[in-house]
Amino acid sequence: MKKIILLLSILTLSISFFSCEDLDDNQLEPMLIIKFKFDPNQSRLNNLGQPSFVPFGNGAQSPVFNKISSHYIEFAKDANTQLGDGSIVYHGQETTIGGNNAIDFSKAKIVAEGEAFLEIPLKDLAIGSYEWLRVSLSYQNYQIKIRKPGSSLEYDGTLESFVGFNTYIGTHSIGNTFFQVDANKPQGYWAFALNDFPYSASGQAPAGATTVPNPIAATSSIPLTSCVVTGKFNTPLEITGLEKKNVIITVSLSTNKSFEWIDTNGNGKFDPSQGENVVDMGLRGLIPSYTK
């Protein structure tokens, strides 16, 4: 009887040992997760990261965002870290099918607010202290208000904005409206469709007109038309390599009057049927934060 009890005790300890060992082996490694947030009340900044107002003669709206995509994400240690010298955690796919190198829109990951855009092992972010985050935004999908041709009423519509350095687009669509492009489009290409009526349009903002806030432009510049928006953590992000939990980065983007057009008639309404052209679709600032 004593032998049986002893055997059972050994067996129990063995099961407990292996169970604990299996549990440790199955622990998930910590992840780096990046999400987007849209804030119409966040400061409206210019290319140098300074407060900016809508120029006289232009009209602007704070659009209601549906989705967004990014092409490049980099953590920078300080204001002197040059673009490309930080810890790059994401670089989207590119193609030369349209001629020059361009973002491949067909391969872009497009997400809504609060949805994980990037989820990778935290070990892929190099150990260090990071003050700044750089995000190259490439695609925006949002709701705006428009004056319907021949009417004094405003209607809701959806606009797709391509603000990356260069984007190869095959076909893209807004609801049941399809736009056949099959070409590279430089920064500033846009397409629009009313939500409830059969009206659509597309166009191109002027070269170099898209606002790309970079508060550290004096020490770490970005290429023209790159759309690498730069923002500073309130408290530097410290990565030690010993983290046991996920690190979640929230990228808060200012949509404060980020859709801007030439208001030819001065009524503050977007009237593309009267020749009013889009001039700027750049996000107006980036504030990164994190939870660990």
Take residue 275 and report the two structure tokens written for it.
């020749």
CA-CA distances (angstroms) from residue 44 to 56, 161, 171, 239?
Answer: 16, 19, 32, 30
Residue 143 inside a domain? The answer is yes
- pLDDT at position 149, please? 64
> Using alpha carbons only, how large is the chain's radius of gyration in Å?
24
pLDDT tens digit at each of 292 positions of the chain = 444 444 444 444 444 444 444 434 445 899 999 999 999 999 999 999 999 999 999 999 999 999 999 999 999 999 999 999 999 999 999 999 999 999 999 999 999 999 999 999 999 999 999 999 999 999 999 999 998 666 678 899 999 999 999 999 999 999 999 999 999 999 999 999 999 888 888 999 999 999 999 999 999 999 988 999 999 999 999 999 999 999 999 999 999 999 999 999 888 899 888 888 999 999 999 999 999 9
- pLDDT at position 84, please? 97
Residue 186 inside a domain? The answer is yes
- pLDDT at position 212, please? 98
Residue 164 inside a domain? The answer is yes
Residue 16 inside a domain? The answer is no
Residue 13 inside a domain? The answer is no
Q: Are 172 and 160 spatial neighbours (Cβ–Cβ below 8 Å)?
A: yes
> Count of domains in the chain?
1
Residue 231 inside a domain? The answer is yes
Residue 136 inside a domain? The answer is yes
Residue 23 inside a domain? The answer is no
**pTM recorded for the entire structure:** 0.88
Domain hosting 259: range is 29-291
